[in-house]
Amino acid sequence: MSEIAVIGAGAWGTALAIHAARLGHRVVLWARDPLRAEAMDATRDNPRLPGMKLPEQLRVTGDAGEALGAALAILAVPMQPLRAVLGILPGGLPPMLLACKGLETGSLRLPLEVLAEARPDLTAGVLSGPNFAHEVAAGLPAASVVAAADRALCEQAQSLLSGGALRLYASDDALGVQIGGAAKNVLAIAAGIATGAGLGENARAALVTRGLAELSRLVVGLGGKAETASGLSGLGDLLLTATGPSSRNTSLGMALGQGRSLAEILAGRASVTEGVATAPALLARAATAGVELPVCAAVVEVLEGRLDVQSAVKALLGRPVRQE
């Protein structure tokens, strides 16, 4: 069957590669470090997904040129190095799905906006939704959204990747889908802080619900569709990311709520917690559209050390009352 190229051999890229191979596709998985690629291909194992053996039809490579000729490429790298990775990829790549979430610090660009600047030669959409990598790799039921201005790309992605335990829905609101993927990480930190600080389930539910309202306002304020916020890439991803310690962002928030410093938490992590870099960028991007994000603003204050948890909660509760 058609070859799928996955660019980025972290947990999420590897999980997507395993899923595509499980559907019967020949898959090439690119790791930036050639030695790591060689080790993964030999051992059929990725330490970032322990216990998940790579299928035989999945080949790991350190040569990005091997993505040429594939029917579809998936780029699954963290948001901050996205521009640099795009810069080293060869020309002539197939249509691509970006599977990263967040905003680029400094430029405040979303993934497709970074791609439009760095690689205008590429046709691309985004893949987003409530998906933990280890569950997709294990073949547990899941759903996600593929969004692009090009309807044909959405249909191609659905044809190639929807099947088995993963169901793909299509959307023409790529902007709204990207905002949902960015905002949910910040809101998950807020939910984790509430849990870690022992504020109770009422507080966490209120934060998540009001956070969803912020997400929806931002989607509309930047030109997306309100209904996208209530879909898989908005409410769905927020529910997954904000409700358990398996989420890197929620667990970071829990540690902050327990009184640990951000520097200490990050020093003990090998994986990227996207919400940390995304939070101030999201707040700044919202300001350009005149959209107020009180919950996200409180997260930024805590992350940057300007407020402690109790002061942030007091500030949120002390805001003027209003209609929901």
- Does 1 have pLDDT greater than 70? no
Q: Are 245 and 183 in contact (CB under 8 A)?
A: no
- Residues annotated as catalytic are 184
The pLDDT > 70 percentage for the chain reads 99
- Which residue is it, tokens 């790591």? 36
Per the structure block, which two tokens stand in for 276? 């940390």
CA distance 80 to 159: 30
Q: Are 109 and 100 in contact (CB under 8 A)?
A: no
- Does 76 have pLDDT greater than 90? yes
CA distance 55 to 158: 21
- Does 2 have pLDDT greater than 80? no
The pLDDT of residue 286 is 98
Task: For domain 175-317, give its CATH number from 1.10.3720.10, 3.30.1490.100, 1.10.1040.10, 1.20.1250.20.
Answer: 1.10.1040.10
Q: Are 21 and 13 in contact (CB under 8 A)?
A: no
Task: For domain 4-172, give its CATH number from 3.40.50.2300, 3.40.50.11740, 3.40.50.720, 3.40.50.150.
Answer: 3.40.50.720
- Does 324 have pLDDT greater than 90? no
Question: What integer is the mean pLDDT of 247-268?
Answer: 94
Residue ranges of domains in the chain? 4-172, 175-317
Q: pLDDT tens, 140-149?
A: 999 999 999 9
- β-pairing, 166-171 vs 96-98, is unpaired
- Which residue is it, tokens 């949910």? 184
- Does 185 have pLDDT greater than 90? yes
The pLDDT > 90 percentage for the chain reads 91
- Does 37 have pLDDT greater than 90? yes
Q: Work out the pLDDT band at 243, boundaries 50, 70, 90.
A: confident
The pLDDT of residue 148 is 98
Residue 317's closest CA among 295, 299, 286, 287? 295
Full DSSP string of 222-275: TT--HHHHTSIIIIIHHHHHTS-TTSHHHHHHHHHHTT--HHHHHHT-SS--HH
The pLDDT of residue 318 is 82
The pLDDT of residue 279 is 97
- β-pairing, 124-128 vs 142-147, is antiparallel
Q: Work out the pLDDT band at 3, boundaries 50, 70, 90.
A: very high
pTM: 0.95
The pLDDT of residue 203 is 92
Of the listed ranges 49-53, 75-79, 131-135, 243-247, the one predicted with least confidence? 243-247
- Does 242 have pLDDT greater than 70? yes
- Does 74 have pLDDT greater than 90? yes
